[in-house]
């Protein structure tokens, strides 16, 4: 007899991510993450798998989080990052066994690294206090008196950095090389933030990202340079507004592939794959004909550390990369001659991958709405798959999950809009059930064919769940993703309501009088907007939301530019910002509303919640407010585990009370 999913199953489910193939193509390492309920922490360990025998072995243990594993060029060692000593440091583990060895002590830890092709050293990216060296000792902060923070730029805080959200002053990120015996040599100079993308196979060139502009408040670019290791001479690879990165050299070092999106549609611009020919100096856009974004833009709440390479070369100078398309995250294949086609099937989320040099076999990390995710080998030619890991098999065998049925309906302007509907897990033919409508954040992300613990929990509690990708969502055309900009609360709101109409018209098991609504970030904005513009929902839960674009402009870490990008106005057009602010319509709210917000959310600061709560409360509205300490904007995904559980309790409890 099977049981239904519970909120506590967050402690049972195991996240399997980040496969990396060995140079011999016969084995791989990956990361398994689980939540330790007693310690209230996430632990991520390195595992090894033999592809032929499917034998899985745990390689690291203890109270740590491992990430970024990479095989040495000869396949005899694996380097990885671990926070076992608090800071993220670089470790090396020999293939034939033994203890992992810390390579060196970097003062503020290591953020990323790449092996040198010689196998005798590694290139790292790490933070450094201006005017100091990597070998200098770090003063213990607990011995220092508090100091005033002199703000000298608009980009002075950032969500997710911890503490009070302020960026460290007098710090820069640099590239250095470190030998296996721990000798560190700094490579980059100045008070600039550098990021290392790749090393050429002959070891003579690096691809480094850096913006050396003195004032970067309105700089939204990080140029890529090809740097000669011997002379440090730089050649511009790309230098324009937008995001460009993930660069990788072809095996013959002639070509450099990278991904990027220009600033045509600000942060709504589709990402493409570009290839630079070092012999001709010409750059081509391999995915120009593909009206969908390259990369994984799926939003969910389960996978931890689901890192995947931006692009991967084969020995034949073909490329693999992820594409978000029609609710799927698929692996795509492209050649320099212009071939372009999907390499994995529909109706799934490929959230990690590793490609054999031949390009014929890949390891994929795959999830779908009723499958949390495992590793598989996948034959590109035949499509044949073999499951390599089985961490969640026992859980799936004893748990009833709800399938997600795809739907397509006509939204605003008669555009096709895509989504899913889930029946309650305890569904009985002929019975009526309440329906919860979920709205994702972003807005330039997408709901996907992936496992979503929150959706399954609501279904297990006896609710139907409707979730769609309204205009503004990624994974569809450039026109579709751009359509929400300058129209918040317009066509996007219409899409949500037309989705609700479609569900009520086509699924007679829905109780039309028992509808709920919830969403976070942009989804929180939409929840706030909806309750001020319709009374169709019996209850709503708004999370990490925006209520007032006027104050958001100045308090969010991205407010001063994101507001203009998305709403099309700034503080010189107060009326426009106020028109799109849910707070303006507070007097219309009749739906019981629960407000959930993290204390250390600097993306959508908690004052957004406070304004809405106090305003609604003074008006005598039915409203609740729950604050979560020490968590940032990502509470639902990576927040403190017990607080994630409490968040789910609050959501379920509110709907139980009012629906």
Residue 484 contacts by C-beta under 8 Å, 6 or more apart in sequence? 268, 443, 470, 471, 472, 491, 492, 566
Q: Catalytic amino acids?
A: 521, 633
Closest CA to 366 of 381, 385, 380: 385
pLDDT classification of 45: cutoffs 50, 70, 90 = very high
Q: Are 115 and 136 in contact (CB under 8 A)?
A: no
Residue 141's pLDDT is: 60
pLDDT tens string 551-595: 999 999 999 999 999 999 999 999 999 999 999 999 999 999 999
Higher-scoring residue by pLDDT: 135, 502: 502
Q: Is the pLDDT of residue 84 over 70?
A: yes
Whole-number CA gyration radius for the chain:
25
Instruction: Enter the tokens of residue 219.
Output: 């700089």
Q: Which residue has the higher pLDDT, 268 or 86?
A: 268
Q: Tens digits of per-residue pLDDT, 587-596?
A: 999 999 999 9
The neighbouring-strand residues paired with 42 are: 35
| Sign of the alpha-carbon dihedral angle for 441, 321, 477, 501 | negative
Distance CA 484, CA 476 (A): 13
Please give the angle made by the CA atoms of 404, 406 and 408, to the nearest 5 degrees. 150
End-to-end CA gap in the chain: 29
**Residues contacting residue 311 through CB under 8 Å, at least 6 positions apart:** 246, 248, 257, 258, 259, 273, 319, 320, 321
**What pLDDT shows up at residue 1?**
61
Beta partners for 18? none
pLDDT confidence band for 135 (50 / 70 / 90): confident
Please state, rounded to an integer, the average pLDDT across all residues of the chain: 97
The superfamily in CATH containing domain 3-147+169-395 is TolB, C-terminal domain (2.120.10.30)
Local structure of 193: helix, strand or coil: coil
Q: Give Dmax over CA atoms of the chain in angstroms.
A: 76
472-522 pLDDT tens trace: 999 999 999 999 999 999 999 999 999 999 999 999 999 999 999 999 999
Coil/strand/helix, residue 467 = strand
| pLDDT tens track for 320-340 | 999 999 999 999 999 999 999
pLDDT digits (tens, 9 = 90+) for 47-61: 999 999 999 999 999
- Encode pLDDT of 446-457 as tens digits: 999 999 999 999
DSSP code at position 160: T
DSSP classification of residue 609: H
Predicted confidence at residue 582, as pLDDT, reads: 98
The CATH fold assigned to 402-658 is Rossmann fold (3.40.50)
Query: Phi and psi for 114 in degrees, rounded to 5?
Result: -140, 140
Task: Give the pair of three-digit tokens for residue 531.
Answer: 């309750």
Question: Is pLDDT at 35 greater than 80 in this prediction?
Answer: yes
Contact 393, 383 (CB under 8 A): no
Span 115-136, average pLDDT:
94
- The per-residue pLDDT for range 610-637, each reduced to its tens digit, is 999 999 999 999 999 999 999 999 999 9
Structure confidence at residue 142 (pLDDT): 59
Q: Phi and psi of 571, rounded to 5°?
A: -70, -5
Share of the chain above pLDDT 90, in %: 96
Q: Dihedrals φ, ψ of 76, to 5°?
A: -95, -10
CA distances from 334 to 58, 542, 557 (A): 35, 42, 37
pLDDT at 467: 98
CA trace torsion 520, 521, 526, 530 (10° rounding): 60
> Please, which residues have CB within 8 angstroms of residue 112's CB and are 6 or more apart in sequence?
68, 81, 124, 125, 195, 196
CA-wise closest residue to 517 among 452, 587, 592, 451: 592
For residue 140, pLDDT over 70 is answered with no
Flag whether pLDDT at 442 surpasses 80. yes
Read off the pLDDT of residues 260-287 as tens digits, 9 standing for 90 and up. 999 999 999 999 999 999 999 999 999 9
Per-residue pLDDT tens over the stretch 544-554: 999 999 999 99
Strand partners, 97: none
Question: Which residues are CB-neighbours of 509 under 8 A, at least 6 positions away?
Answer: 423, 427, 429, 431, 432, 433, 464
Alpha carbon separation from 328 to 94, 295, 382, 482 (Å, rounded) = 37, 11, 20, 19
Nearest to 61 by CA among 71, 49, 46: 46
The pair of structure tokens assigned to 299 is 């939003």
Please tell me the pTM assigned to this model: 0.97
Q: What local confidence, expressed as pLDDT, does residue 139 receive?
A: 65
Question: How far, in Å, CA of 467 to CA of 421, rounded?
Answer: 6
Is residue 641 over pLDDT 70?
yes
Residue 55: CB atoms within 10 Å: 11
**By three-state DSSP, how is residue 368 classified?**
strand
Distance between CA 614 and CA 621 in Å, rounded? 10
Distance of CA 306 to the CA centre of its chain: 8
**DSSP E strands, 216-335:** 224-228, 234-238, 242-249, 255-262, 272-277, 283-285, 312-313, 318-325, 328-335
A 10 A CB-CB count for 112 gives: 19
Sequence spans of domains, the chain:
3-147+169-395, 402-658
Going by pLDDT thresholds of 50, 70 and 90, the confidence category of residue 189 is very high
Give start and end residues of each alpha helix (H) in 277-404. 393-397
């Amino acid at each position: 007899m099977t049981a239904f999913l519970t909120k506590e199953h967050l402690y049972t489910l195991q996240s399997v991510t980040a496969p990396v193939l060995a140079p011999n193509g016969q084995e791989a390492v990956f990361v398994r993450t689980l939540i330790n309920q007693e310690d209230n922490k996430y632990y991520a360990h390195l595992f090894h798998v033999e592809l032929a025998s499917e034998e899985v072995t745990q390689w690291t243990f203890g109270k740590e989080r491992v990430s970024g594993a990479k095989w040495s060029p000869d396949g005899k060692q694996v380097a990885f990052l671990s926070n076992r000593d608090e800071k993220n440091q670089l470790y090396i583990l020999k293939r034939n066994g033994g203890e992992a060895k810390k390579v060196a002590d970097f003062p503020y830890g290591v953020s990323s690294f790449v092996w040198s092709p010689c196998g005798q050293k590694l290139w790292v990216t790490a933070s450094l206090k201006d005017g100091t060296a990597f070998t200098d000792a770090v003063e213990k902060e607990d011995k220092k008196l508090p100091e005033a923070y002199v703000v000298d730029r608009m980009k002075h805080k950032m969500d997710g950095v911890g503490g009070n959200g302020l960026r460290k002053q007098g710090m820069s990120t640099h590239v250095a090389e470190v030998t296996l015996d721990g000798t560190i040599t700094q490579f980059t100079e100045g008070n600039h933030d550098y990021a290392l993308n790749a090393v050429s196979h002959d070891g003579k060139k690096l691809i480094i990202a850096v913006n050396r502009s003195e004032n970067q408040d309105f700089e939204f670019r990080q140029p890529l340079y090809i740097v000669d290791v011997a002379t440090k001479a730089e050649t511009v690879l790309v230098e324009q507004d937008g995001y460009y990165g993930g660069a990788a050299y072809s095996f013959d070092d002639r070509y450099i592939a990278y991904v990027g999106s220009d600033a045509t549609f600000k942060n709504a611009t589709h990402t493409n794959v570009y290839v630079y020919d070092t012999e001709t100096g010409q750059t081509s856009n391999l995915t120009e004909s593909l009206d969908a974004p390259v990369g994984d833009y799926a939003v969910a709440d389960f996978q931890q550390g689901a890192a995947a390479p931006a692009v991967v070369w084969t020995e034949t100078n073909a490329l693999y990369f992820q594409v978000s398309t029609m609710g799927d995250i698929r692996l795509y294949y492209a050649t320099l001659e212009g071939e372009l086609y999907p390499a994995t099937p529909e109706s799934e989320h490929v959230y990690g991958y590793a490609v054999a040099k031949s390009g014929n076999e890949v390891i994929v990390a795959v999830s779908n709405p009723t499958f949390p995710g495992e590793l598989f080998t996948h034959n590109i030619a035949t499509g044949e798959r073999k499951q390599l890991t089985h961490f969640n098999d026992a859980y799936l065998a004893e748990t009833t999950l709800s399938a997600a049925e795809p739907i397509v309906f006509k939204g605003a302007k008669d555009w096709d809009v895509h989504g899913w509907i889930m029946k309650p897990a305890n569904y009985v033919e002929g019975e009526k059930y309440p329906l919860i409508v979920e709205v994702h954040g972003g807005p330039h992300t997408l709901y996907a064919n992936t496992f979503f613990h929150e959706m399954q929990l609501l279904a297990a509690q006896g609710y139907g769940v409707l979730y769609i990708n309204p205009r503004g969502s990624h994974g569809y055309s450039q026109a579709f993703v751009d359509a929400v900009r300058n129209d918040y609360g317009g066509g996007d709101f219409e899409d949500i309501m037309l989705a609700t109409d479609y569900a009520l018209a086509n699924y007679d098991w829905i109780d039309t009088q028992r509808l709920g609504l919830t969403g976070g970030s942009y989804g929180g904005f939409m929840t706030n907007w909806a309750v001020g513009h319709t009374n169709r929902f019996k209850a709503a839960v708004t999370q990490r939301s925006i209520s007032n674009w006027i104050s958001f402009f100045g308090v969010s870490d991205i407010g001063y530019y994101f507001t203009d990008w998305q709403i099309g106005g700034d503080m010189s057009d107060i009326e426009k910002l106020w028109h799109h602010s849910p707070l303006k319509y507070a007097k219309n709210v009749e739906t019981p509303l629960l407000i959930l917000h993290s204390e250390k959310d600097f993306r959508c600061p908690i004052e957004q919640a406070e304004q809405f709560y106090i305003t609604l409360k003074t008006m005598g509205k039915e409203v609740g407010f729950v604050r979560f300490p020490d968590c940032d904007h990502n509470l639902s995904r990576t927040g403190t585990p017990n607080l994630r559980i409490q968040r789910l309790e609050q959501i379920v409890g509110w709907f139980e009370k009012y629906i």
